[in-house]
Every structure is written in structure tokens, then in C-alpha cells.
A and B are shown apart, each in its own frame.
Chain A
Amino acid sequence: MAHHGGSDPESDPSTRLYNPYQDLNLQAPITNLYKLQTSPEFLFAEESLHQRRSWGENLTFYTGSAYLGGSVSGGVVGLFSALRNFEQGDTLKLKINRILNSSGHTGRSWGNRIGVVGLIYAGMESGVVAATDRDDVWSSVAAGLATGAVCRAARGVRSAAWLLGSKF
């Protein structure tokens, strides 16, 4: 779309101005700026309302951020615990070894656990959104509850299921 004379592009946040010759280093000055849409363009308004993150994007984003956040915070906690556990006669090599061991171990275990929680939450939210066809805060709440239920079942029902299983 060529630049229309009436609307002010600065006040319209859904478009941006674009010069097609911007990378070419032409000698002549630019005469035309075009207004491009900043969001993806759809032919039908109903389709654009229906577009949301696919379940794969949901999965990788939540799992990735959960694992990264968990392992970074676990690494920091491990680093501080290693710094606290320094002994009197430690050489530099021993100190570095202690730091790497502790932060690596704590980071990995925290990252694993929080990553699994993120994975289950991502799967639940994609399932709830696909089932109810709504993508609002309540689907996130429902997904969080379901994730908590799975984790509780994994922890609490374990003892009961163990007793039941031993009877067979």
C-alpha cells in the first residue's frame, strides 16, 4: 500500500513505514514510503481472531523457559552453597571444582524438576485450549490446577498405589 495523504503513520500503531530501496544506497532521494502492517495479515476477520499459538510453540516455549529458569536459579543457589562450604586449606583448583560440582548438580536437579512441571503445564494448557476453544486466563488457571493435581497424584498417591500394588 502506498502512503496515503490523510492518515498520520505515527499515530497508527498497527502499521509501519517502509522504504523499498532502503538497502540499496541509491543516489536519488526517496519519493515513496509504503505503510506495511506490523501484524500478520489475514483475509477473514474470524480467522485472525482464531489464530493463536500452536501446541508445539506452546510446548517449546513453556518447557524451555521453565527449564532455563530452573537451572539458572538452581545454579545460582548451588554457587552460593559452594561458596559457603569452602574449607580452610582449599587450593584454587579445589574451589573451582567445588563450585562447578555444586552449581552443576543443583542446577541440573532444579532444572529437571521445574522443566517437567513446565512440560506438563504446557501440555495441559494446549489440551484445555483445544477442548474449550477459549484462550483466556481461565484456561491457564485450569491448566495450572491440572498440573498441580498431576504432581500431587505423583507424590501422594504413590504410597497408596505402592500398598495396593504389593497386594496383587
Chain B
Amino acid sequence: MGTPETSREPCPDRILDDIGGAFGMGAVGGAAFHFLKGTYNSPSGARLIGGTQAVRMNAPRVGGSFAVWGGLFSTFDCTMVYIRQKEDPWNSIIAGAATGGFLSMRQGFGAASRSAMFGGVLLALIEGAGIMLNKFLSQPQMPIMIEEPAPNVAGMPGYPMGQLPNQAPVSVDNLRQGSPSPSPSSSSSAPSSNSSSSWFGGLFGGGKQQEGATAYMSIQLFRFHQIKPGVFTSLRKKQASRGICSMQS
């Protein structure tokens, strides 16, 4: 694990950082997108002006939407961490569902539950992709002869003992004895399917070893944790704000 400066902030400060990061992403991304759109939609001769006007009207709004989504998500995430007293991807999924539902609460229960489901599924996809990416990036360089006899074992690279190559034969035997998941058809698909089965197995009462693998993967995940992109869930039309920096009304 990295030194304390390189990991994420502890939970209350994390909310502020997430709001800022989400607003920055939304404002910069929205500026680029609306500049291109405004330049495209302007008459020739006034393209640059049209582009900058579109940016000044729309980029703060997009940034604000992202910031609201990111801030609410981070608040719910920290609340879940505080309630459950552990850090794992389920916090993010539940927080995503709560954010989606909260933002659509004024549209009624049906719309709120649809938004909640949408937010939860989106976060589950993001977290799943993050776990796969982490697993792929942190795979140790095992010798070829280990992978042939036990394809289901090669899919558990997150286990701490498997990191050192000279200890690989010992850890493989331990993993083979302890891993109850069925061996998939091809070794290339072994990592993804095995990791998902072991992750869920660890959550729903698997053995100690799967708990260790799950915990280790979660720690790795939070090392590379990115700020989640925002999703537009509010259905109301917003009036364009008057300009980027105009403070007087």
C-alpha cells in the first residue's frame, strides 16, 4: 500500500474533494463539448463567438450537475462506510442507488425508484470494471507451468501470497486446496469468472481465504479509486445561467 499521502482522504474531507473533482470534470468536459457544439451550430463568421457563448451558458450548469451528483454520492458513500464499518464496493453501489433516488424524489416514487435502480446498476458496472481492471493490472508474473495443471487457481492473483514468484508453488497448493469454485472451460476466461464467483462467494459466507482475497482486492481497488462520473438524473429544464463570472444580477 502507498504512503498516507497518496491514498484517498479520510471520509469527511473526501466529500469536499469529490465535489471539487466532479465540478472540475463537468465544467472542463462540458466546456469542450459545448464549445464544439456551439462552434458547429453558429453561422460562419461568428463561430468562435458562438462557441464561447455556448460555453459560458452551459459549462457551469454541467459542472454543477456533476458536482451535485458527486457530492451526494460521496456523502452517501461515507454514510455507508460509517454505518457498516468497512470499505468495500457494496457501499458505492448502495450510495449510487441512493443518489439516483434522492435526486428524483420530487418526481414521485416510481421515477425515484427507477432512477435508484439506474444509479445502482451503473455503479455496480463501474465497480465491477474497476475490480477487473485492478485484477488485470496487479497480476503477478507466474511461471507457465503453474497455470496448466490448475486453471482455476491462476484466477486468484489478488491473494497476497501469490505475489512473490518464488513462493508461487507453495501458494498454488494452498489455493488449490482451499478454492471450492468450479474450474471454468478455458483458462483465458478463468480470471474474470473466477474472480466474480470468489468475490460474491466471499460476500455470502465463503471461507476465510476468500474473505482475505476480497479484502485485499477492495484495498487495491481503493488505491486506484477514481472519482465517479456524474449522471444527469434531474428531468427539470434549467435556465441558462447568465455568464461564467458575472456576480451582479
User: A residues bordering B, Cβ < 8 Å?
Assistant: 40, 57, 59-68, 71, 100, 105, 108-109, 111-113, 115-120, 122, 150-152, 154-155, 158, 161-162, 165-166, 168
Using an 8 Å CB-CB cutoff, how does the interface string of B234-249 with A read, 1 for contact, 0 for none? 0000110101111100
Residue pair B24, A119 in contact (C-beta under 8 Å): yes
> Complex Cα distance A27/B245, Å?
64
Residue pair B45, A168 in contact (C-beta under 8 Å): yes
Residue pair B244, A116 in contact (C-beta under 8 Å): yes
Q: Known contacts A61-B16, A67-B20, A154-B244; can you find 18 more A-B pairs with CB under 8 A?
A: A57-B17, A60-B16, A63-B20, A63-B21, A64-B18, A64-B19, A64-B23, A65-B16, A67-B19, A105-B239, A111-B64, A113-B245, A116-B244, A151-B244, A154-B246, A165-B49, A166-B45, A168-B45
> Complex Cα distance A112/B58, Å?
10
Interface size on B, residues (CB 8 A): 36
Across-interface contacts of A71 in B (CB, < 8 A)? 64
User: B residues bordering A, Cβ < 8 Å?
Assistant: 3-5, 15-21, 23-24, 27, 45-46, 48-49, 52, 56, 59-61, 63-64, 67-68, 71, 106, 238-239, 241, 243-247
Across-interface contacts of A113 in B (CB, < 8 A)? 60, 241, 244-247
> Complex Cα distance A160/B46, Å?
13
In angstroms, how far is the closest chain B Cβ from the Cβ of A108? 6
A167: nearest chain-B partner, CB-CB: B45
Given contacts A113-B245, A154-B243, contact A60 B63 (CB under 8 A): no
In angstroms, how far is the closest chain A Cβ from the Cβ of B102? 13
A62: nearest chain-B partner, CB-CB: B20
Residue pair A168, B46 in contact (C-beta under 8 Å): yes
* Contacting residue for A64 out of B21, B60, B244, CB 8 A: B21
Across-interface contacts of B49 in A (CB, < 8 A)? 161-162, 165
Across-interface contacts of B61 in A (CB, < 8 A)? 112
> Complex Cα distance A47/B244, Å?
39
* Contacting residue for B106 out of A40, A100, A105, A152, CB 8 A: A100
